[in-house]
Structure 1
């Protein structure tokens, strides 16, 4: 049989291209690839500020980079993004500067970092273009360098979004101005330190963190320089810069040679020092003396003096996701010390491949796992199934909760399902709407933070155990409890 091919004239090619373009526009208009980040869930406006400050130089491990001879585990500066409740008397919206773009700048740095991470560094331009295509239009809701919420304004808006009585507001303002003991807790804001996951970045969780801030908390998201992220830049006080890339064992040289567990131990130790330095930064901001230099280029700093005597340093909680959740459990080993005055921890999907989990915990802890993380069980460093290891750790803590948000996947607490919802749903197979999932994670996290202040168990925290053995037990015994937004939670362990 002979096939007669019709000749493709320039007119016909143009017709096909036009039809394809119109089809793409039509589909894109019905199902956009990207979506903006939603408003935060709390009653307060949110300020946002990138901060980088010099810290005492420390070398956590003596390994060197094979290519350059540099020290990959040397800490010289601390980089964080602050999310905090903002003053209601801030400038009108038309004159407020937007937060920095969701993608860190330059985008090419992150693109090259992910290409290196994937082992295809020669495709860095492709990764950069993909990041630009999917994230260039996204901004983090919030106001750059906005004034922090004052003590009087803290009582102006209650958690239901309503206004308090005018006399109550005046009374609060008068009490604040007449307060003689500057270290009193009146009107001060609890603090949270957040540590990101492997291959993540500090801004990857902006909706979760900004929403916690909108409920009256000051949150510092650490940009880790331990070689776990795709790429970041250290800005030295003398004006020089240093690029930090994702680390693999083959990149390192040491005597004796590092193993995979050695690398993870070094990174977790590095992260713990960064958490410790973040708590020091909280104390420095609260003291207001001496003023520090913000090394982050083009980052304003007018709001920083407003943090003076506004932070409750007796209430610092650490939170993290995946590798960061492993780091949270690690940091809790030092909780209660002068260097780590931590009152509790929130662990989202503790890592399955980031090293053994710390079991020495004496403060309250909330472990929240995604449905995917709970269902897909793996043998955990010869200690049994990961689920069982985590459950036993939580049960050994005097005040511990272990829960699963069903219908979710490992990235469900990040911004990714909000920005590219249908792509993430296709990739992860989640059944719970991404916005509902984030609201549930946020609500339960806030209820836990409130518990640390009041001792009241609200929401999921007030539930009894519904599924002690989870995927390792009988299916018919896996009952659930409804969250505030209607999603299903399994509760595996609660305080005894």
Structure 2
């Protein structure tokens, strides 16, 4: 399918466009389905006037989480960019939050560390006041404004995952008549040929500009509730609002250790404390390089250097997870800097975790890389370096920011050879140059024989794949004109992602997806032709990618709400493909089938090779 080179404009639209884009041709978006059902919330999460709340997860597993920060194996600097006499981009430690499936019924007892109740981490990373100030600086607001805003909205908000919960050791029951969380307190038999304890697939997640490791807790936690171990890396590349790098107070990983070896450098005042503070880095003389209308374009030197640092953090996090999977969790816990006495840590640290239960329980040989916005650009670069990231079997790019992506190299070894799924927001779909770049990535994967899908979530904005759309839903609705329900937007992203991974992966990781998945058949949505791309919600150039346009807003929203209620009153099956997503790119049936056959053949060869090695 050729690249889209234009959008429909003016009053002339085909009959198919009228049916696809609107209710009666008025531009009103149906978004008919309700968000997926979720467990009931406790009292804390109902007191909305004190803090914003996040939804419980919809999958068949409870979710646990833990924070891990350990010294990097090879501390070093990236690029020659300096400010105030020191390198801006340095790798010294790696920090991530791990979201994972939790054990059956664990919350009914005390946690192993002796605490009376299981606790949940705060959504705003600690120290919360300092992170709030970082967001204020990122938005150009004074400290007292940002502190007041977060105090009134999300300072008390907690992630819906339980800290240091035991890892799940059970298979959920087959879907039957129940879906998602309705199977959460039940155990099912293992699938034929599988072990009694499931081995979980591993997914890495990379946040976008202004994000943190917890800013996507809903989508990461959703993946965990469907049987994934999710590593959400906090990038220390100056892309987040504010982050803290802890240093060991003695022994390996001390701040002066890397300084003395010449691997990194610090200012004198930084050496007087045991941590560094990294705020958002604005490109020099070009602070608005992310804007679609920026005449100077993207700051390529900074952005490409940031991506290289992010890739190194992926490698470090992968190394740590491999150690845990090998049975060396106790050593990782010993090195962990997110414990009592260190900046940004909770008092519990990694207390109470049964590291033996983690040995061999998730797959490190085949992993999925996913990211949002600038994080999606990071994923693309990882996919193009398959020799370096040989274990990445598939990529998922959520609303990618395409400006920092380099054109594909002449050397085909550094092109995308892995399956690729792109999910756009409607707001970013209207950003033509960005959309063309996304389509070119799909073409790049297809040319190498890998299946690629690209779809758009209708009524979604750039924040719809993050927690911000849920915690600040009224801001997103009234000011940015999002029309999709924020929880339903997450459902659509996760469902499409799971359907994609079921189709393009193999082995035990695929088995857990098949057991947990509620299939919405989103990838079966018919392709839109280039002249069928609606523009009913396309804003003026001034607001491209930032917001949607909703004409006659009150009437539009009310009539759409009435139609949703009418649809829900009908029997199941009344919804049509295209009601909630538009499909722009996908492989032919034969192309996908050939990929699946090749994947199965490669897996069989791998099994035979492993068997020969064991018997030899």
TM-score range (shorter-chain normalised) is 0.7 to 0.9
Whole-Å Cα distance in 2 between the matches of residues 213 and 484 of structure 1? 29
**Residues 1:139 and 2:158 aligned together:** yes
Q: CA deviation at 1:281?
A: 1.9
Deviations 1:152-191 (A, max 9, x none): x124565834489989369999x54xxxxxxxxx721100
- In structure 2, the partner of 1:128 is 147
Q: Is the Cα contact below 8 Å between 1:465 and 1:493 reproduced in 2? A: no
Whole-Å Cα distance in 1 between the matches of residues 51 and 476 of structure 2? 11
CA pair 368-170 structure 1, distance change in 2 beyond 3 A: closer
Q: CA deviation at 1:246?
A: 1.1
**Residues 1:281 and 2:324 aligned together:** no
Please, which of 124, 129, 136 is the counterpart of residue 103 of structure 1? 124
**TM-score of the two chains, using structure 1 as the length reference:** 0.79
- In structure 2, the partner of 1:318 is 369
Whole-Å Cα distance in 2 between the matches of residues 202 and 166 of structure 1? 31
Q: CA deviation at 1:452?
A: 3.7
Whole-Å Cα distance in 1 between the matches of residues 187 and 464 of structure 2? 41
Q: CA deviation at 1:131?
A: 1.7
- In structure 1, the partner of 2:496 is 444
Q: Aligned runs of 1:43-442 on 2, under 5 Å?
A: 43-67=60-84, 69-92=85-108, 95-120=116-141, 123-150=142-169, 153-156=170-173, 160=179, 161-162=182-183, 168=189, 176=196, 187-238=198-249, 240-250=274-284, 260-289=299-328, 291-292=331-332, 293-297=335-339, 298=347, 299-303=349-353, 305=355, 306-335=357-386, 337=387, 339-356=389-406, 360-377=415-432, 379=433, 385-386=436-437, 388-393=439-444, 395-396=446-447, 398-442=450-494
Q: Is the Cα contact below 8 Å between 2:371 and 2:379 reproduced in 1? A: yes
SS in 2 for 1:466: coil
Structure 1 stretch 159-168 or stretch 80-89: which is displaced more?
159-168
Q: Is the Cα contact below 8 Å between 2:52 and 2:154 reproduced in 1? A: no
SS in 2 for 1:154: coil
Please, which of 585, 589, 594 is the counterpart of residue 493 of structure 1? 585
Q: Is the Cα contact below 8 Å between 2:526 and 2:577 reproduced in 1? A: no
Q: CA deviation at 1:98?
A: 2.1
**TM-score of the two chains, using structure 2 as the length reference:** 0.64
Q: Is the Cα contact below 8 Å between 1:394 and 1:493 reproduced in 2? A: no
- Residue-pair matches, total: 437
Q: Is the Cα contact below 8 Å between 1:96 and 1:144 reproduced in 2? A: no
Deviations 1:299-333 (A, max 9, x none): 22432612111011222100000000111111111
- In structure 2, the partner of 1:16 is none
CA pair 473-145 structure 1, distance change in 2 beyond 3 A: closer
Unaligned runs of 5+ in 1: 1-28, 177-185, 253-258, 476-480
Unaligned runs of 5+ in 2: 1-45, 111-115, 251-273, 287-297, 340-346, 410-414, 537-572, 589-616
Whole-Å Cα distance in 2 between the matches of residues 314 and 216 of structure 1? 17
Q: Is the Cα contact below 8 Å between 1:394 and 1:402 reproduced in 2? A: no
Q: CA deviation at 1:70?
A: 2.7
Q: Is the Cα contact below 8 Å between 2:325 and 2:361 reproduced in 1? A: yes
SS in 2 for 1:80: strand
Whole-Å Cα distance in 2 between the matches of residues 43 and 442 of structure 1? 14
Q: Is the Cα contact below 8 Å between 2:395 and 2:419 reproduced in 1? A: yes
Deviations 1:119-152 (A, max 9, x none): 45xx1222122122210231111211001111xx
Whole-Å Cα distance in 2 between the matches of residues 170 and 388 of structure 1? 38
Whole-Å Cα distance in 2 between the matches of residues 375 and 30 of structure 1? 38
CA-atom RMSD in angstroms: 3.5
Deviations 1:68-124 (A, max 9, x none): x2332211111000100001142416744222111111123223322332345xx12
Q: CA deviation at 1:357?
A: 6.0
Q: Aligned runs of 1:452-467 on 2, under 5 Å?
A: 452-454=504-506, 459-460=520-521, 462-463=523-524, 465-467=526-528
Q: Is the Cα contact below 8 Å between 2:525 and 2:578 reproduced in 1? A: no
Whole-Å Cα distance in 1 between the matches of residues 191 and 501 of structure 2? 27
Q: Is the Cα contact below 8 Å between 1:408 and 1:430 reproduced in 2? A: yes
CA pair 494-169 structure 1, distance change in 2 beyond 3 A: closer
Q: Is the Cα contact below 8 Å between 1:285 and 1:304 reproduced in 2? A: no
Greater RCO between the two (CA within 8 Å, min separation 6)?
2
Q: Is the Cα contact below 8 Å between 2:417 and 2:445 reproduced in 1? A: no
